């Protein structure tokens, strides 16, 4: 019986964490809905446009770097006030492609900075570039972005006060309709860039620079301690250091920054690992300081939810595995049926989470019925795949919280829309299959067996949950295996 109580305790704690997470998301949703009634006036253009430096951190980007340079060279801003730094850490032919490409724009102030040691990875490149940056403001774009020509004309006016240190824009997606995988990623990112960013910014809680598609005041970066490479999410780390020092951030949903979504699961996993581990590293670095600091209670609560949001994957995998024992105990009559019914309260949390993603999905969608049909099949698939990534992401979170260091692994880019490369010919795909991928396949079999047993004995309390886990782990395993096979 002691083991049973322990099992129930683990299961309940996991469900409580998911429920608490959903309440925080629900509050962000409410603030997002309130924000739609708030009309923010578009600021006037400055009397004198300031000097701006655009930084383009690059590492082995042969498929997208020319597109990036083309787009950046078309930025509509006074030439004498614009400096464009290409911060290149490449070890392949990307360097030659860059040098040839910038010759096409003799009237643009391109500053090419090449490093051979890659010290500090992206954070190190940005920091070294900042030493030679002549701009009062620093705009940053990753290699897979295609900046809007009027990006600076739209963002710079929002620096209406000396207290504003950063303006972040909303990512949009160049290849959203390429595959089901890209549609699911867009579904997830839209919720972050609409509900979460707006929900936090509206109530003056801490938000984060998303690493690209934003503009910093140079003095803010320096005052906050400059870029640091002690976490894998240097953007989140600097964001918290700056806001904890009193700098204000602005998020503008209407200013779009188009970018490419990873089209294969191995690339998605690489990106997810960096984001979730880096988020956990920032939680370990900043949580204590935020709690001790003299800040409004709501700011502290949302900061904790923000910093520890990646730990939701540990909660999901804990609930998933312990649910097998709970299901068995229920079939043996060791758990009263009333407890199963009481657990239905936790389903409210999943409803709230679903609402967050659906509201983001329907934002500015045209054709209600078509969008409704799409949403009804994308939502359960998204939740299933998110559960299927729980093992992979839990490893990342655990490493981040416990201080295990790992290098900054870039997400391979493809430029499939531009026809630069096919999936099979991309030289950046690795063929090594991680051990976790095989466990994902094993979990798909285990939860598939649970679905079979539930149907056979007529116990349907956990059938939807186990069915989603089966689908999620199966899809993640199959798409991962196919993706890694491309690299062989």
Residue-wise pLDDT for 129-153, tens only, equals 999 999 999 999 999 999 999 999 9
Greater confidence (371 vs 425) lies with 371
Q: Which residues of 199-236 are buried (b: 16+ CB within 10 A; e: fewer)?
A: bbbbbebbbbbbbbbbbbbbebbeebeebbbebbbbbb
pLDDT at 408 over 90: no
Greater confidence (399 vs 346) lies with 399
Rounded to an integer, the average pLDDT of 197-211 is 97
pLDDT at 343 over 90: no
Catalytic residue among 88, 89, 142, 144: 89
Q: What share of the chain in percent tops pLDDT 90?
A: 80
The whole-model pTM stands at: 0.94
What confidence score (pLDDT) does residue 180 get?
Answer: 94
Q: Indicate if 142 belongs to the active site.
A: no
Distance of alpha carbon 226 from the chain centroid: 22
Catalytic residue among 142, 144, 235, 237: 235
Q: Which two tokens stand for residue 458?
A: 């007529």
What confidence score (pLDDT) does residue 19 get?
Answer: 93
Phi/psi of residue 404, nearest 5 degrees = -75, 125
Q: Indicate if 89 belongs to the active site.
A: yes
- In 3D space, the residue among 268, 266, 278, 310 whose CA is nearest the CA of residue 434 turns out to be 266
């Amino acid at each position: 019986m002691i083991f049973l109580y322990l099992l129930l305790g683990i299961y309940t704690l996991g469900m409580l964490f998911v429920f608490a997470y959903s309440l925080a998301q629900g509050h962000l949703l409410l603030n997002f809905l309130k924000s739609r009634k708030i009309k923010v006036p578009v600021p006037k253009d400055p009397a004198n446009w300031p000097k701006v430096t655009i930084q383009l951190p690059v590492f082995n980007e042969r498929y997208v770097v020319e597109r990036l340079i083309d787009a950046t060279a078309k930025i509509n801003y006074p030439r004498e006030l614009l400096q464009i730094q290409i911060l290149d850490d490449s070890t392949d032919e990307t360097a030659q492609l860059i040098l040839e490409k910038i010759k096409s724009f003799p009237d643009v102030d391109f500053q090419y900075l090449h490093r051979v040691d890659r010290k500090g990875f992206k954070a190190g490149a940005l920091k070294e570039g900042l030493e030679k940056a002549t701009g009062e403001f620093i705009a940053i774009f990753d290699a897979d972005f295609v900046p809007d020509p009027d990006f600076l004309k739209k963002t710079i006016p929002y620096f209406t006060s000396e207290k504003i240190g950063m303006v972040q824009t909303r990512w949009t997606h160049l290849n959203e309709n390429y595959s089901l995988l890209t549609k699911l990623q867009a579904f997830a990112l839209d919720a972050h860039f609409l509900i979460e960013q707006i929900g936090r910014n509206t109530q003056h809680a801490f938000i984060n620079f998303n690493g690209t598609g934003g503009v910093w005041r140079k003095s803010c970066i320096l005052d906050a301690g400059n870029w640091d490479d002690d976490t894998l999410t240097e953007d989140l780390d600097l964001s918290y250091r700056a806001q904890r020092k009193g700098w204000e951030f602005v998020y503008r949903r209407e200013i779009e920054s188009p970018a490419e979504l990873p089209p294969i699961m191995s690339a998605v996993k690489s990106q997810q690992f960096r984001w979730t581990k880096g988020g956990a590293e920032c939680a370990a670095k900043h949580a204590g300081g935020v709690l001790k600091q003299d800040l409004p209670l709501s700011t502290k609560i949302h900061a904790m939810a923000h910093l520890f949001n990646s730990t939701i994957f540990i909660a999901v995998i804990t609930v998933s595995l312990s649910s097998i024992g709970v299901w068995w105990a229920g079939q043996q009559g060791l758990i009263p049926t009333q407890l199963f019914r009481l657990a239905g309260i936790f389903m409210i949390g999943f409803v709230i989470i679903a609402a967050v993603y659906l509201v983001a999905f329907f934002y500015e969608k045209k054709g209600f019925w078509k969008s409704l049909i799409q949403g009804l099949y994308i939502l359960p698939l998204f939740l299933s795949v998110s559960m299927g990534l729980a093992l992979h992401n839990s490893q990342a979170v655990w490493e981040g919280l416990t201080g295990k260091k790992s290098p900054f692994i870039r997400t391979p880019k493809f430029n499939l829309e531009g026809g630069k490369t096919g999936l099979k010919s991309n030289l950046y795909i690795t063929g090594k299959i991680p051990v976790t991928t095989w466990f994902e396949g094993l979990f798909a079999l285990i939860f598939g067996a649970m679905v079979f047993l539930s149907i056979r004995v007529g116990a349907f309390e956990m059938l939807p949950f186990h069915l989603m886990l089966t689908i999620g782990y199966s899809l993640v395993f199959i798409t991962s295996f196919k993706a890694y096979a491309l690299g062989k």
